[in-house]
């Protein structure tokens, strides 16, 4: 399939191929397995995957598991499943950063022998003081001029576990006066006594990402290392590692702006907080921006990638409107989702002039714009359910649905008149007693009267039942990512982000469906059966998004 998109990264790749700097394209997605992927991750996946696909290249999945403290096999499996769901299976293979630990260590010793790295005894706090500021140069470590022999000995003893955690680091010897703070003798290795999910207890020193990442890229033959904009100031260090380790092949790093979206956050720390504090029921809660949450809510890979492409790929940070994501799924599901009837808040209707023992069937289209998808038969009986919101005892001006003494069309069947309203003990409406014009089944009234209201309905004797959940934004502020702190979540949580309707009624074709497909509940929105609870339907989106594309 031809990929037609274009952006500044694609222009860079095209220029590299045209100039002969590269003869092929090989990209990678390097997630840290310390949480679940979110829609911001999907942007990085889309950029790297599509860049390789457009140019007939390869795309790797490489787990950045260089920090054992928060990593877990649970996240490893979830990440691979998410890529598969997105249709971005790694054509170049699946790799683990930790599998390169031996090579990283080998290259670290090379830098020491070449006089380009040294063991430093400064604490983290002391190192920060000596680092300097943006306007003042840093101060060299008193341990900077140790001999290569002494540094090799100390580094090997670090590897052997002879020193306390945090007591020593291996640092690159670059330039403490560099205007780029990342080049002021950055740490390459630290001592960390932690069990690794793949390597076990083999290592007690771990390479920093800035050191390990370019090595991994070079060893895998990556041509274009595409990453988010916060790594732009790290690019000189990336290039320094490639040059000084001595790779013949030199991958190049290019940066793009991260995906930010209104009314949510992309920080794993804050997403984890939502889970741990019980604001949501897990990483896959349909209100979460995680891929598992979006999938459970009914979003599709095509809608997510459409949203990412429409949001654009640029260098400058921007905020994407969450309503654009909703617009993309509405546009897709309007075209693909079969139509079904569900009554979310049911109100009982007794059709007094219809025989108690009679059942007849009316045909409704599976998709009004696609006759080739056929029809299904909806049973009609004396006892019906209609939507409670389709009746008003004291109607407001402009209300065109059912009222006392008023008429509506029951979708695809009869015209019905409300003759009597039955109240419960608390004064609420418990039942409507109505009559139908038998001559109007799928026909216009013979007397020429016009009935404006058209409502959906279900036979009480034939419908199924389910819980229906409506979702809204988890946060109540558009720019919440700039406002959140660890102790102020309650201030920005939307109390109406979840509404539950426990007794919704479903037409037979919907109640019996186990396909996992999305449906349009006519007049109500787009819904999908919950992947964790068969008796629940989640609303993916309303019938129409409020977003207006330019």
Give the residue numbers marked as catalytic: 32, 258, 268
Contact 90, 60 (CB under 8 A): yes
**Complete DSSP assignment for 373-398:** G-EEEEEE-SEEEEEGGGB-SSPPTT
Whole-Å CA distances, 45 to 1, 42, 59, 218: 18, 5, 9, 19
The DSSP element (H or E) to which 9 belongs, if any, is helix 8-19
**Do residues 504 and 388 make contact, with C-beta atoms less than 8 angstroms apart?**
no
Q: Are 293 and 261 in contact (CB under 8 A)?
A: no
Tokens of 231: 């790594």
Count of CB atoms situated within 10 Å of the CB of 146: 18
b vs e for 39-55, b when ≥16 Cβ sit within 10 Å of the residue's Cβ? bbbbbbbbbbbbbbbbb
Cα within 13 Å of Cα(178), Cβ side: 16
CA–chain centroid gap for 545, Å, is: 19
φ, ψ at 301 (rounded to 5°): -60, -40
Which residues, other chains included, contact 268 with Cβ-Cβ below 8 Å and sequence gap of 6+? 34, 35, 38
Question: Using only C-alpha atoms, what is the Rg of the chain?
Answer: 31
CA dihedral 541, 385, 508, 455 (to 10 degrees): -50
Calpha distance 490→493 (Å, rounded): 5
- The total number of residues written for the chain in this structure: 550
How far apart, in Å, do the first and last CA atoms of the chain sit?
28
Do β-strands 58-63 and 93-96 pair in parallel, antiparallel, or remain unpaired? parallel
Hey, what are 337's tokens? 């989702």
What are 83's two structure tokens?
Answer: 């890529």
Residues with Cβ within 8 Å of 545's Cβ and at least 6 positions away in sequence, in order, are: 323, 326, 327, 330
Query: What are the residues whose beta carbons fall under 8 Å from the beta carbon of 211, sequence distance 6 or more?
Result: 104, 108, 172, 186, 188, 189, 241
Q: Where are the alpha helices (DSSP H) in 33-159?
A: 39-54, 73-86, 101-113, 124-130, 148-159
Q: Are the C-beta atoms of residues 384 and 462 closer than 8 Å to each other?
A: no
Residue 303: enclosing H or E segment and its boundaries?
helix 301-311
Residue with tokens 């949450």: 293
Strands (E), 198-353: 205-207, 224-228, 252-256, 260-261, 319-320, 338-340, 342-343, 346-351
């Amino acid at each position: 399939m031809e990929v037609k998109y274009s952006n500044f990264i694609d222009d860079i790749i095209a220029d590299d191929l045209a100039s002969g700097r590269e003869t092929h394209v090989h990209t990678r997605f390097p997630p840290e397995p310390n949480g679940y992927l979110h829609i911001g991750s999907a942007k990085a996946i889309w950029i790297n995957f599509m860049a390789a696909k457009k140019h007939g290249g390869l795309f790797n999945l490489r787990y950045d598991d260089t920090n054992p403290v928060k990593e877990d096999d649970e996240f490893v499996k979830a990440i691979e499943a998410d890529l598969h769901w997105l249709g971005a299976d790694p054509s170049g293979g699946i790799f683990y950063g930790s599998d390169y630990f031996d090579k990283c260590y080998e290259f670290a010793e090379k830098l020491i022998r070449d006089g380009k790295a040294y063991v430093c005894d400064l604490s983290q706090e002391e190192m920060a003081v000596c680092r300097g500021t943006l306007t003042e140069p840093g101060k060299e470590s008193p341990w900077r001029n140790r001999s290569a022999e002494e540094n090799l000995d100390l580094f090997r003893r670090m590897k052997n576990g002879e020193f306390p955690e945090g007591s020593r680091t291996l640092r690159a010897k670059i330039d403490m006066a560099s205007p780029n703070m990342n080049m002021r003798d950055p740490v390459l290795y630290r001592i960390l006594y932690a069990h690794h999910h793949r390597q076990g207890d083999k290592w007690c020193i771990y390479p920093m990402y800035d050191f390990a990442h370019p090595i991994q890229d070079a060893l895998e033959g990556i041509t274009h290392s595409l990453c988010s904009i916060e790594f732009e100031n790290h690019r000189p260090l990336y290039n320094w590692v490639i040059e000084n380790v001595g790779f013949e092949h030199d991958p190049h790093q290019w940066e793009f702006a991260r995906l930010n979206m209104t009314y949510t956050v992309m920080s794993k720390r804050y997403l984890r907080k939502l889970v741990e504090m019980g604001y949501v029921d897990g990483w896959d809660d349909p209100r979460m921006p995680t891929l598992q949450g979006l999938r459970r809510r009914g979003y599709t890979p095509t809608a997510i990638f459409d949203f990412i492409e429409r949001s654009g790929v640029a260098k400058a940070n921007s905020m994407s409107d969450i309503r654009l994501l909703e617009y993309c799924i509405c546009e897709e599901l309007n075209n693909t989702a079969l139509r079904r009837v569900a009554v979310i808040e049911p109100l009982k209707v007794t059709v007094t002039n219809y025989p108690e023992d009679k059942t007849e069937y009316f045909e409704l289209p599976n998709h009004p714009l696609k006759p080739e998808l056929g029809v299904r038969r909806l049973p009609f009986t004396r006892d019906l359910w209609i939507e409670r919101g389709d009746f008003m005892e004291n109607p407001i001006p402009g209300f065109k649905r059912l009222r006392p003494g008023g008429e509506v069309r029951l979708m695809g069947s009869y015209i019905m008149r409300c003759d009597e309203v039955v109240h419960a003990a608390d004064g609420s409406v418990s039942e409507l007693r109505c009559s139908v014009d038998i001559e109007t089944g799928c026909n216009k009234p013979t007397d020429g009267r016009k009935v404006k209201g058209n409502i959906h309905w279900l036979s009480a004797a034939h419908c199924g039942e389910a819980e229906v959940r409506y979702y809204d934004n988890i946060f109540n502020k558009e720019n919440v990512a700039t406002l959140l702190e660890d102790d102020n979540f309650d201030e920005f949580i939307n109390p109406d982000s979840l509404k539950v309707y426990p007794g919704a009624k479903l037409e037979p074709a919907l109640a019996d469906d186990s396909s996992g497909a999305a449906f349009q509940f006519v007049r109500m929105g787009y819904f999908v059966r919950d992947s964790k609870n068969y008796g629940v339907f989640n609303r993916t989106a309303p019938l129409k998004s409020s977003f207006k594309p330019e």
